[in-house]
Each structure stands twice: as C-alpha cells, then as structure tokens.
Amino acid sequence: MELSHGPGVYKYSHKSYSSQSDSWSSRVSLNSWAAPVVGAIFGLGRAGSIHLSNIIGNPRVILKYIVDDRSERFAELKDYWKLDNSVTFLTSKDSEKVYKDKSVNVVFIGSPTWTHEDIVVNSINNNKHVYCEKPIAENIEDTKKCYETAKAKGCTLFAAFNRRFDPAYSGLWQRVRNGDVGHVQILKVTARDSPLPSIPYLQTSGGVFHDCLVHDFDMACWVLGELPTRVQATAAALIPEVKEGIKQTPIFYSFPSRYRLAYKYELEHFLDVVMNGEPMKVTSWQTLAVSKIATAAEKSARTGQTVELDWTKDGIPAIYS
Ligand SMILES: NC(=O)c1ccc[n+]([C@@H]2O[C@H](COP(=O)([O-])OP(=O)(O)OC[C@H]3O[C@@H](n4cnc5c(N)ncnc54)[C@H](O)[C@@H]3O)[C@@H](O)[C@H]2O)c1
C-alpha cells in the first residue's frame, strides 16, 4: 500500500486515523451504568467461543441467550461452559425472542459474515448495542447501512478489530507516536490464519482480503495514521488443502491464544463505551475505509493492476483526503 504522505514524512496529528471517534457513541451510553449489561451472543464457532469465554468471565455482563444453528451441540455446550438455566439456547429461527426481549441491551455477533447485517440491523432497531465480529457486513453499502441504523437509533456499533487491543500492537502504535522508531518508511505485517479454516468456512468467508487481511489493513493505517493512495496486490493459492478438502486441527495454538489478551481488552473497551460513554476506538469511517482497501486489494490481485484510491467522497476527516 502506498500511503498518502509518502515514505519518511510521517506526520502525527491529533486528528489522525487512530484518534477519531464516532460522535454518536457517547450520546447513547448510560453514563456510569452501574448494573451489568444483559447480553445475547449469536454464533458459537471459532470467534464466538472466544467471546463467550470472556463474556462468562466478565462481571459486567449477564448472558441471557446463546443463538446458534448447531442445536445438536447445545447440551454439550451447556455442560462444557457450566451454564445454568438462566441462559437460553435458541436457533436463529427464534432470533425474534432476543430482539423483542427488552431486558437485553447488548448483542455480540460471532456468526458467519453473511448473517451479520441482518442481526446488526434487527438488534439496533430494537435498541441494543452491538459488538460485531469483523467485517460488519459483506460489502461497503451494507456496512454503511448498519452504521446509519446505529446512528439513527443512537446505539453503539462496535467492529471487533481485536488487534487494536493487543499489548504488542498498541505498544508499537505508542512507540511510533513517541518517535522512538524514527520516521516510519516501511511497515511489514505478516499474518497467518493457521490452522487452515474449513473449506465450507472459506467458501462463505468473503475471501482472504475481506475476512483476514482487513486486520492487516486496519493495523497499517492505525499504526501509521494514514490511508493509502494506491494498492497493488498479488495472490496465489499455494496450499493443496485449499482445493482438496477440509483439514480439522485444534485452533488452540492459533489466534485464540496469540490474541487472548486482545479479545479480553476489546470486550472491556466495548463495555466502557456502552456503560461509561468512553469514545469508541474503532470508528465507522475506519471500518468503511478498511473495507474499501480490501476491495481494492482484491481487484488488484484479480486484475494485476494497481488500484488508485480516492478518499475525497468518503466523508473522512480532511487530513486524509
Ligand atoms: N477477529 C477475529 O480474530 C476473528 C477470528 C475468526 C473469525 N472471525 C469472524 O467471526 C465470524 C465467524 O467466524 P468463525 O470462524 O467463528 O465461524 P464458524 O464457522 O467457526 O462459526 C460460526 C457459528 O455461527 C453459527 N451460525 C450460523 N448461522 C447463524 C445465525 N444466523 N445465527 C447464529 N449463529 C449462526 C454456526 O452454527 C457456527 O457455530 C466471521 O465474520 C469471521 O470473519 C473473527
């Protein structure tokens, strides 16, 4: 990615990519909300299980519903997570029960990406604050619709870019701002989604740019405080399993353990936004910008062409246009 200020001329501004927050998030918070929030979680797969373990261990959240479509796992999950009858298991065809339950004020979404928009919009239309796994929706237009709904209803919509909350990454962000690393000329980011996700997951994930690399696009912009002016991407499928079939491997050694603290701190941040009116660190325009970069990268990889990015019509703070 080529950044707007060019190499070696990094400028820090208090209006930077990393510090702008969505203005409506504090408007809706119940300042110093003393009682725990009451929550529901949609989707208990790879991401949802991590969120569930943090939710269960957090005294600021009372979990009331678990919604997942693999009902055959409900008894085993209830036993494994030592849940009592105060937690109701539902399949998605009964999601209305969650939406219509006025005692529920926060919804956590860890279901597949193609289900996000529907759950986000229904939750917010019923006055619930939402913590949604990235990406918020399958495309930029639907993502905008979700944020517009949140703004209209005065609800928080948090996109779970967990790496922002990882101590190593936030330490780097701080060192760049302190000038400890000098002028940043190149940022190299390496990411792996290991072990290999299942083929059915990959088929509905939205592709590597939108599903996986959005984290890296967000990291690059966040650490550098700039948006790219052009994107050049190349891609290849080098792993035979991607074409051949499903590989089942425990995920314990992968992102759940690497980002254990990030997921925990991310939940605390969401609760601080909802309960204490703290400004949200992952803003709507940042999420939309990352989605635009992912779309450009995918286009570049498919066409072999460099894709220019024009930010002038995106409503992004002036410093980046
Ligand atoms: N931030 C991260 O580190 C991270 C890591 C992995 C996945 N993700 C994101 O999390 C989301 C889920 O990915 P995953 O890997 O956990 O998927 P997964 O396939 O492992 O799990 C999805 C779960 O959702 C359930 N489900 C399906 N439709 C549903 C519906 N309508 N309502 C409720 N539950 C439903 C499925 O039964 C399954 O248990 C994706 O958007 C993905 O991009 C984020």
pLDDT, tens digit (0-9, with 9 covering 90-100), for 41-79: 999 999 999 999 999 999 999 999 999 999 999 999 999
Domain boundaries, the chain: 2-16+164-256+284-320, 24-160+266-276
Which residue did the predictor score with more confidence, 162 or 193? 162
pLDDT digits (tens, 9 = 90+) for 273-283: 999 999 999 99
Give residue 236's pLDDT. Answer: 82
| CATH 3.80.30.20 is held by the domain 2-16+164-256+284-320 | no
Residue 4: partners with Cβ closer than 8 Å, 6 or more residues away = 226, 227, 228, 229, 320
314 lines ligand 1 (CB under 6 A): no
What band does 254 get if pLDDT is binned at 50, 70 and 90? Answer: confident
Q: Which of 76, 133, 269 to mutate to test the pocket of ligand 1 (most atoms within 8 A of CB)?
A: 133
In angstroms, the Cα distances linking 28 to 23, 39, 209 are: 10, 17, 33
What band does 6 get if pLDDT is binned at 50, 70 and 90? Answer: very low
Q: If you measure from the C-alpha of residue 198 to the centroid of ligand 1, how many angstroms do you get, rounded to a whole number?
A: 12
130-145: average pLDDT: 94
Helix axes 260-276, 167-178, angle to 10 degrees: 70
Helical H segments across the chain, by residue range: 24-28, 46-56, 74-80, 95-100, 113-125, 140-153, 167-178, 199-204, 208-211, 213-224, 240-244, 255-258, 260-276, 284-303
CATH number, domain 24-160+266-276, options 1.25.40.10, 3.40.190.10, 1.10.287.10, 3.40.50.720: 3.40.50.720
pLDDT digits (tens, 9 = 90+) for 199-249: 777 777 778 888 889 999 999 999 998 899 999 999 887 776 665 544 444
DSSP classification of residue 87: S
Q: If you measure from the C-alpha of residue 137 to the centroid of ligand 1, how many angstroms do you get, rounded to a whole number?
A: 13
Contact present, 130 and 120 (Cβ < 8 Å): yes
Q: Which of 50, 51, 68 to mutate to test the pocket of ligand 1 (most atoms within 8 A of CB)?
A: 68
**Mean pLDDT taken over the chain:** 86
4 lines ligand 1 (CB under 6 A): no
Nearest CA to ligand 1 atom 30: 92
| Lookup: tokens for 153 | 């209803």
Give residue 13's pLDDT. Answer: 37
What band does 174 get if pLDDT is binned at 50, 70 and 90? Answer: very high
pLDDT digits (tens, 9 = 90+) for 79-118: 999 999 999 999 999 999 999 999 999 999 999 999 999 9
Q: If you measure from the C-alpha of residue 307 to the centroid of ligand 1, how many angstroms do you get, rounded to a whole number?
A: 30
Nearest CA to ligand 1 atom 17: 45
Which residue did the predictor score with more confidence, 186 or 239? 186
122 lines ligand 1 (CB under 6 A): no
What band does 188 get if pLDDT is binned at 50, 70 and 90? Answer: very high
Strand, helix or coil at 259?
Answer: coil
Has residue 11 got a pLDDT over 70? Answer: no
Ligand 1 atom nearest to 69, measured from its CA: 37
Percent of the chain past pLDDT 70, that is, above it, reads: 84
Nearest CA to ligand 1 atom 39: 45
Give residue 43's pLDDT. Answer: 98
Rounded CA separation 67/85 (Å): 15
Q: If you measure from the C-alpha of residue 53 to the centroid of ligand 1, how many angstroms do you get, rounded to a whole number?
A: 15
Has residue 258 got a pLDDT over 50? Answer: yes
Nearest CA to ligand 1 atom 37: 69
